[in-house]
C-alpha cells in the first residue's frame, strides 16, 4: 500500500515526518487545486525529507483551476521539473488535458521526458478525462512508465493539511497490468 501525506508548508512537513511519514507530497493550496511550491520550499523539504529517509513527490501545476495549459504555462512546468530534479525531488506529479477533455499526449510526453531519472505520477487531471477516453488514457500512462495515478475518492479522511493517499481502484490496477499503482486521495 502506498501512503503519502500532502503538505503545504515546512512546519507541517516536519510534523508529518516526525510522526513517521515516509512519503511526502508537496503542493501549495488545497489539494484539489494545488500548484507547484517555491524553489526554496522544494530545496529545504527535499533536504529534510532525505535526511529522515523520506521521499518527496512534487505537484507540478502552473495554475489552480483546470489542466489545459498554454505554451507559456507548459514551459513554466517544464522549468519547474528541471528545478525539482536539481533539488533532489524523488518524483513529480503531472497532468495535462486537451480542450476536448482527453489526455494531452504531447505535453504529457514533454513533461515526463523532462523528469528523466525521477518517478512520474499522473495527477488529478485523470479525474477530468472524458469517460470515452479513460481506457486509452490509462493505457497510455502505463505504456509510458508512469509509476502512480492520483485520483479522488469521495470517502473522506482529512486532518488539517495532512491528506492520506492509498492504493485502491483494483479494476484500474488490473487494467494497467500492474505497471502503474493507483492511489486515491481521501479528502
Sorted by where each begins, the domain ranges of the chain are 3-186
| 3-186: in CATH 2.60.120.380 | no
pTM of the model: 0.82
Q: Write out the chain's pLDDT in tens, 187 residues.
A: 346 788 999 998 998 898 888 999 999 988 878 899 999 999 999 999 999 999 999 999 999 999 999 999 999 999 999 999 999 999 999 999 999 999 999 999 999 999 998 999 999 898 888 888 888 888 888 888 888 888 764 332 233 233 333 333 343 444 444 444 445 443 2
Contacts of 181 (CB under 8 A, 6+ apart): 2, 147, 148, 149, 167, 173
Contacts of 69 (CB under 8 A, 6+ apart): 62, 63, 77, 96, 104, 107
- What DSSP state is assigned to residue 133? G
Give yes or no for a contact between 173 and 167, defined as CB atoms under 8 angstroms apart: yes
Amino acid at each position: 500500500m502506498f501512503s503519502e501525506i500532502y503538505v503545504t508548508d515546512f512546519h507541517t512537513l516536519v510534523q508529518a515526518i516526525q510522526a513517521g511519514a515516509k512519503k511526502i507530497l508537496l503542493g501549495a493550496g488545497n489539494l484539489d487545486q494545488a500548484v507547484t511550491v517555491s524553489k526554496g520550499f522544494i530545496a529545504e523539504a527535499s533536504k529534510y525529507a532525505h535526511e529522515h529517509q523520506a521521499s518527496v513527490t512534487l505537484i507540478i501545476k502552473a495554475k489552480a483551476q483546470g489542466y489545459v495549459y498554454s505554451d507559456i504555462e507548459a514551459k513554466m512546468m517544464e522549468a519547474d521539473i528541471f528545478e525539482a530534479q536539481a533539488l533532489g525531488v524523488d518524483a513529480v506529479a503531472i497532468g495535462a488535458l486537451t480542450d476536448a477533455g482527453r489526455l494531452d499526449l504531447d505535453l504529457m510526453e514533454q513533461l515526463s521526458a523532462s523528469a528523466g531519472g525521477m518517478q512520474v505520477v499522473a495527477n488529478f487531471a485523470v479525474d477530468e478525462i472524458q469517460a470515452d477516453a479513460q481506457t486509452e488514457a490509462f493505457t497510455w500512462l502505463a505504456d509510458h512508465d508512469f509509476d502512480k495515478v492520483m485520483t479522488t475518492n469521495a470517502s473522506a479522511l482529512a486532518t488539517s493539511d495532512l491528506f492520506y493517499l492509498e492504493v485502491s481502484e483494483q479494476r484500474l490496477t488490473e487494467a494497467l497490468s500492474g505497471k502503474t499503482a493507483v492511489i486515491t486521495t481521501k479528502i
